[in-house]
Amino acid sequence: MSDRRNFVKLTLLSSAALLAGKNVLAQTDELKDRTYDTKKDAPVVISTWDFGQEANAAAWKLLTKGERALDAVEAGVKVPEADPKNQSVGLGGRPDRDGHVTLDACIMDEDARCGAVACLEEIVHAISVARLVMEKTPHVMLAGEGAQQLALANGMKKANLLTAESLKEWKEWLKTAKYKPHNNIENLKLPNSRPGDARNHDTIGMLAMDKKGNLSGACTTSGMAYKLRGRIGDSPIIGAGLYVDNEIGAATSSGVGEEVIRIVGSHLVVELMRRGHSPEEACKKAVQRIVAKNPNMAKDVQVGFLALNKHGEFGAYALQKGFTYAVRNGAVDTVYDSKSLF
Ligand code: SD4
C-alpha cells in the first residue's frame, strides 16, 4: 500500500516537474525568440514590384499623419487595384482561361485579426472586401458569390474588370491556350518561356509599420493569368501570401502561388525572423525551402518574398532574377532589386 502511495506520489511529482520543466523551457524559448521589440524606423512601408512605389506613396500619406498601418496598407494597394493598366491586380487583371477576372486578397493587422476573399468577381477593391470579412463577419475568408454579396451589401458596386487590353490578350492566348506560369520577368529568357507568359503575374503585397510601431499587411491580385476557373493562389491565404506578427515582423509573397502555399511561405519567413534571422536571410531561407522541396520545378518559376521586421528593417529574396520591391521610409523612396538564388 505504502509502495503504491509512494509510486503515485513520485509519479505525480515527476509529472509536475516535467510539466514545470516544459513550461520553463517554453517560456525561455519564447523570451529568447522575441528579438524584436523596438521601432527604429517607423513609419515604413514596403511593397512588391516597381508599381509598389506608387502604392507606397498612398500609404505613406496616411502613415506620416499617424494613421494605422492597417488603413495605410488598404489605401496603398487600392492604387494598383484601380489601375486598369496594371494587368495583375484588380481592374484590368488578366482573366482565367474562361475569360473571368477573379480576384484574391487578404489583409492582416497588428492584433492578428485577418480577412480574405478568394475568386471574387466584378468588384474592383478586393482588399476592402477582405477588410469587410475581417471586421463585419465572424469569418476569415469568403469566396466567390458570397464575397461579392458582402461587398454589395456594404455599398460596393459591380464593375466589369475585363478591360479591352486584357480581353485582347486573352483572345490571343486562346489560340494556343497553353498555361505556362514560368516567370514574371519580361527580360529573362527561360528555356521554355514564350511571349505572353513571361509577365503573367505581379501581385502587390504591402507591409507597413506605423508611427506607433504596429504592423499590418495587405496582398491583392488577379492571380495567375489563364488559370483554371476556381483556382485560388497563395495571395488570399493567411500564412502563405501574407503574415503579420506584431511582435516580430511581417512577410508577403509574389510569384507562383502553388509553390508558396506548399511551404506556407510568409508564415515561415516570420518564424525565421523570430529565430533571429534578418528579413533578407529569412526570405532567402524560405526560397531555399521551395528549392529543397522541388529542385527541378524551382528553376522554371518565380517566387519572391518580402519582409519587414519590428525594427523597420526590410529585405527580400527571390528564386529568379527580376523581382523588385519598393520601399518608403524617412530615408528612402526607392525601388530595389531583390537578390535571387538563380
Ligand atoms: C498567385 N501569387 O495567384 C499570385 C500571383 C503572383 O506575381 O503573385 N504573381 O499565385
> Which pLDDT tens digit goes with each residue over 168-190?
999 999 999 887 665 444 433 33
Q: State residue 109's pLDDT score.
A: 98
Q: State residue 178's pLDDT score.
A: 83
163 backbone dihedrals φ, ψ, rounded to 5°: -80, 165
Residue 166 predicted with pLDDT over 80? yes
> Per CATH, which fold does 39-340 belong to?
Glutamine Phosphoribosylpyrophosphate, subunit 1, domain 1 (3.60.20)
User: 55 or 24, which is more confident?
Assistant: 55
Beta bridge partners of 115: 107
Is residue 128 within 6 Å of ligand 1 at its C-beta? no
* Residue 112: all three cell numbers together: 492578428
Are 312 and 40 in contact by the 8 Å Cβ rule? The answer is yes
Buried b or exposed e, range 162-171, using 16+ CB within 10 angstroms: bbeebeebbe
Is residue 222 within 6 Å of ligand 1 at its C-beta? no
Task: Quote the ligand 1 centre to 144 CA distance (angstroms).
Answer: 18
- What is the pTM for the complete model shown? 0.86
User: 335 or 2, which is more confident?
Assistant: 335
209 backbone dihedrals φ, ψ, rounded to 5°: -120, 125
Task: Quote the ligand 1 centre to 44 CA distance (angstroms).
Answer: 24
Task: Quote the ligand 1 centre to 145 CA distance (angstroms).
Answer: 21
203 is catalytic: yes
